Amino acid sequence: MTQSLSFRPYDVRQEHEMNEPLDFNRWAQLKPVAKVFKAMITNVIRLTEMEKLFHLRIIDDTERERFSFLPGQFVMIEVPGYGEVPITVCSSTSNKGFIEVCVRKVGTVTSVLHRAGRGAKVGIRGPFGTHFPLERMKGHSILLIAGGLGLAPLRAPIFYVTENRSEFKDVHILYGTKSPDQELFDYQYESWRRIDGVDIRIIVEKPDERWKGPVGLITELLDDVTVDPNETYAIVCGPPVMFKFVCQRLNQMGIPMDRMFVSLERRMHCGMGKCCRCNVGSTYTCTDGPVFDYWTVMNLKEAI
């Protein structure tokens, strides 16, 4: 069930929207995505002190078969009795048996989820939101840039690009963390590095005694990357402060702002354009985003 949601509540300032048929809740469109899929945690992998990777398997065979998502989309995960949290799906879109989500323990719901083990049941709604336009990126070089937890939302695009390697030119994966012990998915770097035409570089701010790689900020990795700016797209995931510096640097390299894509985070409740919790001006992060091109973000007041 792949859906790119094109609806949102009427904007009363837009006259043409008021002329649409009177269906304020747009229930017909919302119904399919309002459904909660019952899912079981089938595996839990501790990635760092703060992050765990969960394998979630939708219990009903037919629903599991039908479920699909696009890289960059998120699901609402319900922990019964505690609440729901938006989390980006970080597995390969070609993986049909289960989805993977990487969850950082920050508060109430994520802490309970971190205590859950194999066999625990959760609810899943979605997938929601916009996705990284990887189809449009085909035939170009790709810069996949992440900081910290940003490697989680970047992982589905990485899988997509590496699984469809021949459809893209050079692929550069750049990842920065505070320290080596905060690196996510370190067990996968070698397999990505072995793919022809894929360059992966990792930088840390505070090395430990075993670290042999570069030390500094993620922007410094871009000093050694050569791409044709007119033939390149970039996906940047991480904390908002990183967007500013990385996207400025990409712009200096000549990459247009509408060819850089970022994923914005806001507190969310419904995930489908009904509750107005996630808005930036008249833009809803859950339906108009979370993936935006950087040009749009620059023109959205208080987006970052």
List interacting residues with ligand FAD (CB under 6 A). Answer: 74, 83, 85-88, 102-104, 106-110, 149, 152-153, 265-268, 290
**How far apart are alpha carbons 218 and 237 in whole angstroms?**
12
Residue 201 in contact with ligand FES, rule: CB under 6 A: no
Cβ distance 74 to 89 under 8 Å? yes
The option from ligand FAD, ligand FES, none interacting with 110 (CB < 5 to 8 A, set by class) reads ligand FAD
Cβ distance 142 to 161 under 8 Å? yes
Residue 153 in contact with ligand FES, rule: CB under 6 A: no
Cβ distance 294 to 258 under 8 Å? yes
Cβ distance 60 to 38 under 8 Å? yes
Nearer to ligand FAD, 104 or 138 (CB): 104
The option from ligand FES, ligand FAD, none interacting with 156 (CB < 5 to 8 A, set by class) reads none
Contacts of residue 55, defined as CB under 8 A and 6 or more positions apart, other chains included, come to 41, 42, 43, 44, 98, 99, 100
**How far apart are alpha carbons 21 and 298 in whole angstroms?**
33
CB of 24 to ligand FAD, least distance (A): 25
The option from ligand FES, ligand FAD, none interacting with 106 (CB < 5 to 8 A, set by class) reads ligand FAD
x-marked contacts with ligand FES along 272-301 as a string, rule CB under 6 A: -xxxxxx-----x-x---------------
Nearer to ligand FAD, 153 or 238 (CB): 153
Nearer to ligand FES, 185 or 284 (CB): 284
Give, in order, the Cα–Cα distances in Å from 27 to each of 33, 46, 201.
10, 39, 46
CB of 273 to ligand FES, least distance (A): 5
